[in-house]
């Protein structure tokens, strides 16, 4: 195990136990871990977004590596701009052009998303923040168009198809397979559940009785969701504890044990000092 | 009797830190002292197993890794178990990733299964196409033309130089699709943009929290079976007969669930006793 | 005014229509724009939104530090954390691979490598001898600094071998195992994000105990469904006998009879009949753990999961699908203008 791994394990244990210390009460260890998380994740996502999207897909299309010699005044000027950027940021703009499999000719159309993106960044300034609306409008329109079809097709039509259940050639009741009773439950549950969300008519009388049945099915579904949520969280907790146990072994110089003891001692001191301050 | 009821009412407002300690012990102790409870596969896990069992040597399976380290305890065991199943049947495995972290997870799983366990050959038995950003755009691209999305694989080799990529041009050329998904983009996008339009046989493994969101697709037949969280992974491991991390976490999962149910029941008993007392007075 | 109001709405409407009808139109240039470029632009803009978020965060934390407001030290930590990940992502490559091209035929190179890869000398020699002739051996873990890599190369050369440094490409460094960015991801970002999620397990348990009360029939249904799923989906559910569940059902029914009829005699009769009935049936059948299967938790859980649960989830899914379709049409037609602040 090399030094950076062991050092990393100690950092990981400190941060993990720092977050868990919130279970005792809000304390400096938790605040440290929380603020480090905020800072590191902002930087992490920024780096990921840049190196996986902006550099290969935007700059890689605006300035792809040309096949041979650059000819023509426009292209020479265009790649002249690139070379200038390359002097300032050689890591982002390597020599010659960016080769990310987008051909060898610049896609000038991509100047539009570049401009929209820069406008979006301008929203930090109060005076120019309205420019961000253009980029936001594009993303909203794009998402609306994509999602409208996809959700209608798979979530509505696909599900309606799935609700069109059969009642022939099957037993009346089966716990494990298809049956008339099971299919009836699904059909009735889906329709009454949907009717519950129809708020244009008051839920009274016979309609109220039907929607009542709908709520019961929804409650069963929410109960199942609750069960799965508990299951998921406990699984993640098992994962964390497994890591803490691994980091408590001699290979990592008993990191978990040392850090835990240290934290308990320091938190005890901090609590006693806090109590004295409150009473004194 | 009154004293006992007093105790129950008092216990109803227990300091939550006591509950935290009990949960921590409930999860930690079985990790040190396993109970070895046998695992019983559910129908949905069995369905995934049956679909993979029907595949034959030489069939092509497209696996998509859409999870990261924070959801690794739930999904990585099922990804490893599925790889073991596919490779034991000599199915050709093609891996794509819609999450950047997914590529790391895929590399780890392949090292463990393809390299160290089955001695498979890269480029002939399995290929890691790698991560591409774009979510639905990538899925749509794969549906129409794989080479529009991937010119090279994760190692930088051109797709046309990889033997097992010959004749594989779009999603429809695969025999099976599996999405190991922890959120967006993931299972739902694969159903909406690939499985439904193309009609490819698709199964999925998701985090426990996502299961209910995906269940209607399973019930309607758009997805064939689902592995739900760590229990789903453990069930699949028991079906293929190779215990892994999923199985080892199940004892802790069982004990924690029982403790939480006991808490809920006890909390309600305390609630009823208190309600009865307040009605009385 | 046109630029601030009408132009954004026009952009949303145009792009929305184009994307929506792109699903149905076969014209190659439109299809190519919708399938490839439109979604790439979306992702590029989403990336810029990420940069904006980071900039806003820095601005807020910096203001706290400058004004020395309460807790400014933690804000300084947040800025430090951001700086570290920024440096790992953009400034310090942190991924220098050392490739050993010649092993020198002596134990010297193996000794140097054994120290670097944390293996004993014999294992290292075995690894080197397994490398095909003409191929190079690449040390698994890259080095964070160029200096670190250079020092190893010097040691290998001094031991009679040859080695080169191959830095990872900028861009690929974020996905390179062992790079500084990867180290930050494994030992800082991952433990923090995973633990934040895992923390909820404790709060779910605490909330279940304190807030999950049966106040009405709907809450009872939710509770019972949740408990059956929680117990039935884990191995322990298979060890809870169906007869135990039957006794609980009998007791619940008796409680219901008591609440409904409010008569002690009827309650007592129901209790005795119910308990006796179950006990006699149990003795006759020999108390099998998984029969009757309707009371066996794993089977019951499966039935609930595949039938009423799916019905409820499907109703919600159809409702959401219709809602998303309706709101998407509103955005495309320019009726919904909340994204421009109206």
Q: pLDDT digit string (tens) for B15-34?
A: 888 999 999 999 999 999 98
Q: A234-245 pLDDT, tens per residue? A: 999 999 999 999
A68 has a pLDDT exceeding 70: yes
Do B87 and B123 lie in a common domain?
A: yes
Give the model confidence (pLDDT) of B183-206 as tens digits.
989 999 999 889 988 999 999 999
> Which residue stretches of chain C are H helix?
7-22, 28-32, 39-67, 72-86, 107-117, 121-130, 146-158, 180-184, 190-211, 217-232, 242-261, 264-285, 297-306, 308-332
- H/E stretch holding C96 reads strand C96-102
Smallest Cβ distance to A186: which of C174, C227, C310? C310
Contact residues on chain B for A236, CB-CB shorter than 8 A? 70-71, 73-74
Residues of B in contact with C39 (CB under 8 A): 134-137, 140
* Chain A 218-257, residues with CB within 8 Å of chain B CB atoms: 221, 224-225, 228-232, 234-242, 245
Q: What is the DSSP string of chain B?
A: -HHHHHHHHHHTT--HHHHHHHHHHHHHHHHHS---------HHHHHHHHHHHT--TT-EEEEEEE--GGGHHHHHHHHHHHHHHHHHTT-EEEEEESSHHHHHHHHHHHIIIIITTS-PPBTTTEEEEEE-S-THHHHHHHHH-HHHH-SB-TTS-BGGGSGGGTT--SGGG-SEEEEEESSSSSHHHHIIIIIHHH---EEEEE-HHHHHHHHHHHHTTSS--EEEHHHHHHHHHHHHT---HHHHHHHHHHHHHHHHHHHHHHHHHHHHHHHHHHHH-
Q: Is C120 or B256 the better-scoring residue by pLDDT?
A: B256
B281 falls in which pLDDT band (50, 70, 90)? Answer: low
pLDDT value at C158 more than 90: no
Q: Which pLDDT tens digit goes with each residue over B154-166?
A: 877 888 889 999 9
Q: How far lies A107's CA from each of B245, C71, C251, in Å?
A: 48, 48, 74
ipTM over 0.90: no
Report the pLDDT value the prediction gives residue A194, as an integer from 0 to 100: 93
- For chain C, the domains span 2-90, 92-212, 214-306, 309-340
Binned at pLDDT 50, 70 and 90, residue A280 comes out as: low
Residue (of C3, C10, C49, C54) closest to C337 by Cα position: C10
Q: pLDDT confidence of B64, banded at 50, 70, 90? A: very high
Over residues A146-159, the mean pLDDT reads 85
- Cβ separation B100–C193 shorter than 8 A: no
pLDDT value of position A264: 95
B276 domain residue, yes or no:
yes
Taking alpha carbons only, the member of B52, B53, B59, B61 closest to residue B93 is: B61
Listed in sequence order, the residues at least 6 apart from C292 whose beta carbon sits closer than 8 Å to its beta carbon are C242, C246
Distance from C-alpha of A247 to C-alpha of A265, rounded to nearest angstrom: 20
On whether both B14 and B140 belong to a single domain, the answer is: no
Task: Please indicate, yes or no, whether residues B80 and B183 belong to a single structural domain of this protein.
Answer: yes
Domain C92-212 belongs to what architecture? 2-Layer Sandwich (3.30)
Tokens at C317, concatenated: 């899914």
3-state secondary structure of A216: helix
Are residues B73 and B123 both part of a single domain?
yes
Choose the closest CB to A232 out of B31, B191, B209: B209
Structure tokens that stand for C135 in this block:
């191929």
How many angstroms separate the first and last alpha carbons of chain C? Answer: 14
Assigned domain for B261 exists: no
Domains: count for chain B:
2
Task: Give the best residue of A24, A174, A234 to mutate against chain B (max B CB count within 10 A).
Answer: A234
pLDDT at A122 over 90: no
pTM: 0.86
Q: What is the CATH number of the domain that holds B187?
A: 3.40.50.10160
* The pLDDT value given to residue C106: 60
Q: State the nearest Cα–Cα gap between B193 and chain C, in angstroms.
A: 11
Residue matched to tokens 């780096």: A47
Give residue B24's domain range.
2-33+250-256+266-280
pLDDT, residue C176, reads: 75
Contact (Cβ atoms closer than 8 angstroms) between residue B271 and residue B3? no
**pLDDT at res. A22:** 94
DSSP for C189-244, please give it.
IHHHHHHHHHHHHHHHHHHHHHH----SHHHHHHHHHHHHHHHHTSGGGGGS-HHH
Residues B192 and B137 in one domain: yes
Convert the pLDDT of each residue in C223-275 to its tens digit: 999 999 999 989 988 888 888 889 988 988 898 888 888 888 989 999 999 99
| Each residue's pLDDT tens digit, C84-96 | 999 998 888 888 8
CA distance C330 to A168: 42
A276–chain C nearest CA distance, Å: 21
């Amino acid at each position: 195990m090399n030094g950076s791994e062991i050092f990393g394990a100690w950092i990981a244990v400190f941060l993990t136990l720092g977050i868990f210390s919130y279970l005792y009460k809000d304390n400096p260890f938790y605040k440290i871990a929380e603020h480090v998380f905020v800072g590191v994740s902002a930087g992490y996502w920024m780096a990921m977004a840049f190196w996986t999207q902006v550099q290969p897909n935007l700059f890689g299309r605006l300035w792809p590596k040309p096949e041979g010699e650059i000819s023509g005044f426009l292209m020479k000027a265009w790649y002249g701009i690139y070379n200038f950027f390359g002097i300032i940021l050689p890591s982002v703009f390597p020599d010659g052009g960016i080769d990310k499999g987008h051909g060898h000719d610049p896609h000038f159309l991509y100047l539009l998303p570049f401009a929209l993106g820069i406008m979006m960044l301008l929203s930090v300034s109060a005076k120019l923040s309205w420019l961000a609306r253009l980029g936001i409008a594009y993303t909203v329109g794009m998402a609306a168009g994509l999602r409208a079809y996809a959700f209608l097709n798979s979530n509505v039509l696909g599900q309606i198809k799935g609700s069109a259940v059969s009642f022939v050639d099957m037993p009346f009741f089966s716990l494990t397979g298809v049956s008339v009773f099971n299919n009836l439950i699904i059909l009735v549950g889906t329709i009454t559940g949907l009717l519950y969300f129809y708020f244009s008519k008051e839920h009274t009388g016979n309609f109220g009785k039907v929607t009542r049945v709908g709520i019961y099915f929804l409650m069963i579904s929410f109960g199942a969701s609750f069960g799965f949520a508990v299951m998921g969280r406990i699984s993640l907790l098992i994962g964390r504890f497994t890591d803490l146990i691994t980091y408590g072994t001699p290979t990592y110089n008993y990191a978990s044990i040392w850090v835990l003891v240290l934290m308990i001692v320091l938190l005890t001191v901090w609590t006693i000092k806090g109590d004295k301050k409150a009473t004194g | 009797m009154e004293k006992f009821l007093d105790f129950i009412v008092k216990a109803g407002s227990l300091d939550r830190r006591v509950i935290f300690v009990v949960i921590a012990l409930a999860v930690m102790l079985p990790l040190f002292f396993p109970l070895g409870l046998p695992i019983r596969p559910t129908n949905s896990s069995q369905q995934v197993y049956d679909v993979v069992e029907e595949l034959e040597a030489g069939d092509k399976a497209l696996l998509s890794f859409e999870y990261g380290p924070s959801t690794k305890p739930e999904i990585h065991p099922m990804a490893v178990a599925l790889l073991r199943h596919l490779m034991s049947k000599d199915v050709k495995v093609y891996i794509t990733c819609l999450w950047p972290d997914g590529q790391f997870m895929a590399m780890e799983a392949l090292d463990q299964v393809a390299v160290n366990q089955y001695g498979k050959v890269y480029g002939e038995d399995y290929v890691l196409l790698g991560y591409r950003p774009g979510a639905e755009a990538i899925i749509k691209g794969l549906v129409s033309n794989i080479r529009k999305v991937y010119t090279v694989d994760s190692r930088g080799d051109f797709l046309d130089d990889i033997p097992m990529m010959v004749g594989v041009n779009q999603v429809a050329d695969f025999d099976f699709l599996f999405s190991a998904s922890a959120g967006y983009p993931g299972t739902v996008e694969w159903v909406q943009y690939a499985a439904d339009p193309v009609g490819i046989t698709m199964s999925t493994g998701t985090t426990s929290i996502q299961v209910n969101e995906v269940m209607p697709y399973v019930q309607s037949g758009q997805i064939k079976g689902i592995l739900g969280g760590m229990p789903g992974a453990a069930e699949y491991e028991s079906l293929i007969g190779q215990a892994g991390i999923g199985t080892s976490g199940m004892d802790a999962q069982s004990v924690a669930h029982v403790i939480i149910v006991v808490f809920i029941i006890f909390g309600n008993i305390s609630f009823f006793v208190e309600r009865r007392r307040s009605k009385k007075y | 005014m046109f630029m601030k109001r009408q132009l954004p709405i026009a952009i949303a409407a145009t792009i929305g229509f184009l994307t929506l009808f792109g699903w149905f139109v076969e014209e190659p240039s439109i299809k190519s724009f919708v399938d490839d470029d439109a979604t790439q632009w979306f992702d590029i803009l989403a990336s810029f939104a990420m940069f904006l978020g980071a900039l806003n965060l820095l601005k807020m934390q910096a203001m706290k530090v400058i004004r020395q407001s309460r807790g400014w030290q933690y804000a300084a930590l947040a800025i430090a954390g951001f700086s570290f990940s920024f440096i790992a992502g953009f400034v310090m490559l942190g991924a220098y691979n050392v490739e050993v091209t010649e092993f020198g035929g002596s134990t010297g190179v193996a000794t140097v490598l054994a120290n670097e890869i944390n293996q004993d000398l014999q294992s290292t020699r075995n690894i080197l001898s397994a490398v095909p002739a003409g191929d190079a051996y690449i040390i698994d873990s890259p080095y964070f600094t160029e200096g670190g890599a250079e020092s190893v190369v010097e040691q290998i050369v001094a031991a009679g071998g040859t080695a080169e440094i191959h830095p990872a490409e900028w861009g690929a460094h974020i996905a390179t195992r062992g790079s500084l960015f990867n180290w930050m991801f494994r030992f800082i970002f991952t433990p923090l994000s995973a633990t934040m999620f895992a923390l909820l397990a404790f709060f779910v348990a605490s909330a279940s105990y304190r807030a999950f009360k049966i106040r009405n029939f709907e809450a009872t249904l939710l509770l019972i469904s949740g408990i059956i799923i929680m117990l039935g989906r884990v191995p322990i559910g298979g060890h809870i006998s169906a007869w135990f569940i039957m006794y609980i059902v009998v007791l619940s029914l008796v409680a219901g009879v008591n609440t409904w009829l409010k008569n002690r005699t009827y309650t007592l009769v129901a209790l005795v009949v119910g308990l006796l009935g179950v006990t006699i049936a149990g003795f006759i059948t020999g108390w099998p753990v998984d029969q009757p299967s309707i009371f066996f938790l794993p089977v019951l859980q499966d039935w609930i999961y595949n039938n009423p649960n799916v019905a409820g989830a499907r109703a919600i899914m159809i409702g959401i699908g219709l809602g998303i379709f309706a709101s998407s049409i509103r955005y495309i037609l320019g009726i919904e203008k909340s994204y421009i602040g109206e």
